Amino acid sequence: MLIVNEPLHTPSAFLTYNTVYDVFKSSSAEDAADKEKPDDAIPELSYLRMELVRIRAGMSDFIVRVSTPKSANQVKSNTLITLRANKQHGSLKGVRDMAQTISKEMHLREDSTHKWDTTDLTHTTKLLFPYLKFFSSNLAVESMQFTTEALL
């Protein structure tokens, strides 16, 4: 699997959502009392946002962009990696290899939204498999965006 360090184009609004909007911030008067609560009250979510884009319409090769959520409590979050995949990544073995590559890259980039060195690859594979199987087997679909459940 080829790891592309530089995205081919600017990441979509789907992947950069958390850099623009802070999901947990609120400016209402009711939440003023909640500001006294420690930051630990907000759960740290360990999900992945993924975007699959065909290199050309009808081609089996596609680009996979993976992003982690932004969190004010984390040292390093909202990491974006770009991978190149093909129809082989629609099989269970291919998805497991992709999950392993994602885990290694996030660990190398010191992303702190999840404990990447102890990732449960079987669980991550089960989260990604239906989407990658659908996308790799349907060449008419040019792009797909989804968010996984928690990686824990």
Give the pLDDT confidence score for residue 5 in this predicted structure: 55
> Distance (Å, rounded) from C-alpha 77 to C-alpha 113?
6
Looking at residue 114, its pLDDT comes to: 84
Mean pLDDT on 98-110: 91
Q: What is the mean pLDDT of residues 80-91?
A: 92
For residue range 126-139, list pLDDT tens digits in order. 999 999 999 999 99
Query: Residues 39-64: pLDDT tens digits?
Result: 454 556 688 889 999 998 888 999 99
Tokens of 142: 């040019």
Number of other CB atoms surrounding residue 142 within 10 Å: 16
Which residue in 113, 118, 102, 38 sits closest to 74, CA to CA? 113
Domain ranges of the chain: 2-26+44-147
- Determine the Cα–Cα distance for residues 62 and 135; give it in Å rounded to an integer: 9
- For residue 7, name the pLDDT band (cuts at 50, 70, 90): very low
Write out the two tokens for 151. 């990686």
